[in-house]
Amino acid sequence: MAGMNTLKMIRNLILILLIAIVSGLALNTIAFSLPVQPVKENLTENLEVFEKEMESEYFRVIENDDATMLDLYTDALMMNTMIYESDQSNFVNAVAAHHYFNEEQTMQQSFLDLIEEKIEGKEVYAYARYWHGYLLPLKLALSSMTYLDFRILNLFLQILLLGLAVKTMAEQGGRKLVVPLLVAFVFLMPVATAYCLQYSFIVYITLIATILLFHFRENLDRRKNAIYFFFIIGVVTNYFDLLTYPLITFGIPAVLLLFSGKKKTTILESLITFAAIACAWIGGYALMWVGKWTVATLVLHENIYLDAIQQIILRTNDEVKNLELTYSMVLEKNLKLLQRLPYALLFYIPLMMKIPSVVALLIHDQRLFFQKILIMSCFVCVPLVWILVLRNHSFMHYFYTYRILIIASFAIQCAAFSTPSLLRNAEE
């Protein structure tokens, strides 16, 4: 019976993946079928903003604060792809993700030329190993508003979703974990996630996943349902993201799932659930990516697998421009952006308030205490392993990869805040 259930689950996961691949191709094809001119006109409205922010490779919203650094290279790439036009079919464009680029310029300079219709000297490049799921929502938004208006809307939507997440948590048994979620949101540096196109989607996916998790909280106590849930999160993350800090979409919801359950579980059951949902998220993320490589290889008659594997080798090696990267060097570079007094206050003050409850739990229920410590430790290790594996990427792009370390601080706070109250301990 167990074997039959496993086969049924695998079949269902494959079906979900195939539906996601077909849907992704359809949505991207629709994106390339929409007119480009309204987008260009709205982008031109804010040409002075682009010229100011893109005069250097990176722009900091708060001067000298790398945590607010925007990846305008990738934002320019996204917009270059969004406004690309050609005689090829919309489907081919959707698969290839073509964009114009001049190798003697930066991506930002090429973008500034393109919105002024200066195509001379630029060649067509493909970026087929990613899905570019951002294309349709961005094109719809920037067809109807300027770039600055979109930034305001972006911030508003993120705050709105955070409010909905808090409301849903409070109503569905997650009230104790609201403070850790609010702290984690501050650590994400919302002023940067609202200003930078490529940072935004991870925030949206994480908050929507949080809302859905608590809306269907009781159903997700069943491990099978949790596996489906995190598989879908992995799929959606890969569709939208260009390898920023995707692990957040696993870490935040997974911590909330394991620390908000009302049903008592054994240490082994908790560890199995952790391993199952981690594998589900990784499986969804990886298989959706491989799906794009497969489709692109078949449609474009190019070996996209080779291109992707070469990039994976690059991002996982331990060298950058002949500089040998040690793990401690990369970790320190990422941690440095979280070593600020305001962050320390937001992290430690709430924890200090929970010390009496944690001590009481240790006295009254040592099994539950060590269970929370063990699960917390698993989550603390998750970003550390990610940085170890993606050492090159985490060093080069530390100004946004540092955000995955929030999983560790979030897990620590949730472990403390999920402890029973002193009154309950006294009654027991």
Residue range 38-73, pLDDT digits in tens: 999 999 999 888 888 888 777 899 988 999 999 999
| Average pLDDT of the residues in 98-124 | 88
Summarize pLDDT for 315-359 with one digit per residue, the tens: 888 777 778 889 999 999 999 999 999 999 999 999 999 999 999
Report percent pLDDT > 90 for the chain: 78
> Above 50 in pLDDT, residue 425?
no
Residue 223 near residue 272 (C-beta atoms within 8 A): yes
Mean pLDDT of the chain: 92
Does residue 427 have a pLDDT over 50? no
Structure tokens that stand for 10 in this block: 């695998």
Write down the domain spans for the chain.
1-134
Structure tokens at 47: 């040409």
Instruction: Give the pLDDT confidence score for residue 54 in this predicted structure.
Output: 87
Q: How many residues does the chain have?
A: 428
pLDDT digits (tens, 9 = 90+) for 395-413: 999 999 999 999 999 999 9
| pLDDT tens digits, 256-288 | 999 998 778 899 999 999 999 999 999 999 999
Q: Report the C-alpha gap between 224 and 196 in whole angstroms.
A: 36
Tell which residue, 36, 44, 39, has the closest CA to residue 85. 36
What backbone torsions phi and psi does residue 60 show, to the nearest 5 degrees?
A: -105, 125
115-139 pLDDT, tens digit each: 888 888 889 999 999 999 999 999 9
Q: What is the mean pLDDT of residues 222-249?
A: 96
Task: Indicate the pLDDT class of residue 33, thresholds 50, 70 and 90.
Answer: very high
Residue 104 Cα distances to 65, 101, 109, angstroms:
29, 9, 10
Nearest to 281 by CA among 214, 215, 219, 209: 209
Measured between alpha carbons, how far is 354 from 73 in angstroms, rounded to an integer?
Answer: 43
Is 110:101 a contact under the CB 8 Å cutoff?
A: yes
Give exposure, 224-258, as e/b (b: 16+ Cβ within 10 Å): eebbbbbbbbbbbbbbbbbbbbbbbbbbbbbbbbb
- In 106-222, alpha helices (H): 107-114, 135-144, 147-171, 178-187, 190-195, 197-215
